[in-house]
Structure 1
Amino acid sequence: MSRSAHVAGVGMVPFTKPRETQGYEVMGARAAREALQDAGVDYDLVQQAYVGYVYGDSTSGQAALYPVGLTGIPVVNVNNNCSTGSSALFLARQAVASGAVECALALGFEQMVNGALAMGYSDRTSPFAIFDEAARPMQERDEKAPFAAQYFGGAGREHMERYGTEQATFAAIAVKARKHAANNPYAVFREQVTEEEVLASPAIYGPLTRLMCCPPTCGAAAAVVCSEDFARRHGLDASVVVRAQAMTTDTASTFEAGDMRRIVGYDLTASAAAQVYEASGVSPEDLRVVELHDCFATNELITYEGLGLTPEGSAEKFVRAGDNTYGGRVVTNPSGGLLSKGHPLGATGLAQCAELVWQLRGTAGARQVDGVTLALQHNLGLGGACVVTLYERVAA
């Protein structure tokens, strides 16, 4: 990659519960328009678009963008499970950084239904078959529990058994998420809860209770990515640059380590983060704000260690010391995260991007973290893919 890629504009719609949603094409078009307006650029100048969603028919990306403009540009539809939004961003950034285009749009949306995630097809091999086979010796399958909760609940239980982590620590993460979401008008769940309420909510699997699990959510988010020259020529804000980015997929360690944490992406996370830190020269100690993939409270705790925010085995101490929130070492998920902001699969990675761009611009309002010049994003999809992105505020 020979040149920098800048996030010139972001946009998103308030996330909602499925019964309150608009159609995916309405949400997607709105988020795209907001990102373009935020950037101050006409859609006619966008040269490629990457559109992410998980639950939708092919070419839904075109259906969402055609109301924005019929310009004939390439529209690439992207599906990478829960990392779909960041995968679209990865492709847009790559197109700009490689010199293939000057300006690209990344858009993600999801129109979900009530209830736990489910497989779309029962007449063919599941993409999770290899994961199920690896997990089988480590834990029993519960036909009544959502499949994702079994993976991440098992990973949380693994951390408890290895390091003595208490269930209440996972509850504390859920409480923190609600506190942060209280200041986010885009979040679904802004009412406050206590650790006792989280622990008393219905058991799901392993240490997980319902309030430790992200809700099914609908929404959309988008980002305009461009070169520095393009921004200068068109008078755009180029103050937020992608300093480094990495996407990883599974290696043999996922399936051979006999560790549920690795089944759910610990090694993907650690590898992507290491690549970003090496490429940028930035260390975890330099970070003050992180948006990470807290689909379950257990995964937030595991991800602290995967990203190197705290040494392996020390995440409980990190939480109890308040180092994961305002006044601590690094504010994690100031948006409220997936647990409270919501998790519309295709939109999540780009909603994380929007939050961090606002943080770097100093426009996050009551959620603003002081002194932010660097921001890290982590977006994980079982099956599997992980995207870690480091943003930096530079002189405009």
Structure 2
Amino acid sequence: MSKNDPKIPNDIKVDPIFNTSYLIDGEIREWDGPMAEVYSTIPTPNTEGALKPTLLGSVPDMGEKAALEALDAAEKAFDRGQGVWPTLPVRERIKCLETFVEKMKAQREIVSTLLMWEICKTRTDAYKEFDRTITYITDTVEAYKKLDRKSARFEKESGIHAHIRRSPIGVVLCLGPYNYPLNETFCLLIPAILIGNTTIFKPAKLGILLITPLLKAFEESFPPGVVNIVFGRGRSIASPIMSTGKIDVLALIGHSSSAVALQDQHPNKNKLRLALGLEAKNPAIILPDANLDIAVEECISGTLSYNGQRCTALKILYVHEDIVEEFNQRFAKAVDGLSYGMPWEKDAFLTPLPEPSKPAYIRGLVDDALEHGAKILNKKGGEVSENYCYPAVLYPVNKEMA
């Protein structure tokens, strides 16, 4: 928890990226309006030698006018299913995706490095996210080829012969999460594009700079209006787009409150298709006959991989009363044994939190649990620094806690 004076390897150092570009209607345009600075919670010395959050650069802080321009471009490109992209032969759309993948591969180093700086993902996980995204795109293309071949044949079911083909729906608004700003965002974006839809993509607030090296690849790989990328706050970009009623699909990975709010802004909710990945309260259940060595190891990975900032993370552990004391001792010791450090450090398992307000928020949850009868079982639990709150193993817990 004291390692907040990082020694930065040369291959990790990045110059600030002051990006003024955005992509609309197949054209990279220059923004001359307000900008939003992007900081990392990883501290570096300022001009006076004091450790402060690191300025990584800035991106356009765009608003309603630009958002609606992106919408118009996507709507024109789709043209009620008669546009160039939705009517393009499958092999040609696949060729565009393959071109994009090759151009994307050239940006592996800078994108992975920005993942470390922007969202404090470990070096291993940052490169893994990039590589997994490349694999996902190629696997999606292969799956689509099989689907297209299958749809070329007639099928017989209950004596009925049918020729079934999948078709694009329309204009898709893609909003990805900060914890996997490349992989999960592209899990929304790539299938939408491949099937023939046109898209508007607003990167997440955190993990936003890493999209900028890919703008050129998008511009050079797809026809105008297929992919439109704008930067800004959700209320400034997504809200005015949704309120037009021209969005056919809302593709969002994030919080349910955001999904509900955006749906409510659409004037024709009954026509709106949804592709959502939302939060979850995932439990682990430890039974009396469990191998505790394995159980503790799996619970460490499940609760604290990437600091637990995953919708798939374990949020609560249900342990049988016959083994709860031994499990708690082992689990608390294992949590205290985890290494905290900078994302590029080889042995770091726990890394800084990318949101400046999160350490205080987490400490507040710990304090609330203590007020309602819980105890912190691990010695380091609840220790707070400028950019981290060490995981606290709390027991017993009850439904009165926040």
**TM-score by structure 2 length?**
0.25
**TM-score by structure 1 length?**
0.25
Q: Which has the larger radius of gyration?
A: 2
